Amino acid sequence: KNPVIIFEGIEASGKSTNLDLVAKYLKKKRKKYIKLREPGGSPFSEKIRKILLNKNYNLDYKTDLMLFLASRSENFQKIIKKNYNKRIILLDRFTDSTIAYQHYGMNLNKNLIEKINKLLLGNIKPNLIFLNLVSMKNLSLRLKNRKNKNRYDRFKIKFYKKVQNGFIKISKNKRNYIIVNSNKDINNNKKLVLNNILKLIK
């Protein structure tokens, strides 16, 4: 069986770097995989992404929630479902981002989000989730250096702190979560990530 592997974390937490590292490794090993991001993935979901992250729109949080879920629905129906079990699926963010940002960050109802996630995905669950953590000091530095800031790069540090603490709560007592501390040595993290991939993929 080919696993579904998720990379989660707040802005500048190194999740996309780790995803690229795994993708490169799988390519070298000639494994079949696909790589997707959320919001985004399918062509229509990429359009939703553009709307969601456009800094000129001042959308209500509930509108955001609906758009993130609509993007997931299309991405799931058009791409994930087809590839499930056939290829390894690498995802830059998934359902826990909605709980962390829209519930822990924006106070929208957790139960409702969980119900819709379940409606969208049925019984499909990720096999492994890397939760990438970053200190607020490093986050501020890394965000300051970003040239093109999108709508979700412009929150106060307090907001990201709430979201990251939310992610940590979600990961508690879950066996399929691996914590990666992105403030630490990059080579050690590389080893940690690839060792866990090796355990899944023989």
| Minimum distance, C-beta of residue 153 to ligand TMP, in the bound complex (Å) | 7
Residue 42 vs 97, nearer CB to ligand TMP = 97
Of the candidate residues 14, 39, 126, 166, the single one contacting ligand TMP (CB under 6 A): 39
Tokens of 30: 């000639």
| Minimum distance, C-beta of residue 69 to ligand TMP, in the bound complex (Å) | 8
Adjacent-strand bridge partners of 180? 132
Per CB under 6 A, contacts with ligand TMP among 53-82 are 53, 68
Asked if residue 182 binds ligand TMP (CB under 6 A), the reply is: no
Asked if residue 130 binds ligand TMP (CB under 6 A), the reply is: no
Of the candidate residues 42, 73, 97, 171, the single one contacting ligand TMP (CB under 6 A): 97
Cβ(13)–Cβ(132) under 8 Å? Answer: yes
CA-CA-CA-CA torsion sign (23, 35, 167, 162): positive
| Minimum distance, C-beta of residue 113 to ligand TMP, in the bound complex (Å) | 9
Using CB under 6 A, which of the segments 94-102, 133-141, 168-176, 188-196 binds ligand TMP? 94-102
Residue 144 vs 199, nearer CB to ligand TMP = 144
- Residue 180: phi and psi, rounded to 5, are -115, 120
Asked if residue 162 binds ligand TMP (CB under 6 A), the reply is: no
Cβ(39)–Cβ(67) under 8 Å? Answer: yes
Spatial neighbors of 186 by CB under 8 A, at least 6 apart, are none
Cβ(49)–Cβ(65) under 8 Å? Answer: no
Distance CA 90, CA 124 (A): 14
Using CB under 6 A, which of the segments 92-100, 126-134, 135-143, 193-201 binds ligand TMP? 92-100
- Residue of 193, 181, 202 whose CA lies nearest to 129: 193
Tokens of 66: 């609906």
- Contact positions toward ligand TMP, by CB under 6 A? 11, 37-39, 53, 68, 93, 97-98, 101-102, 152
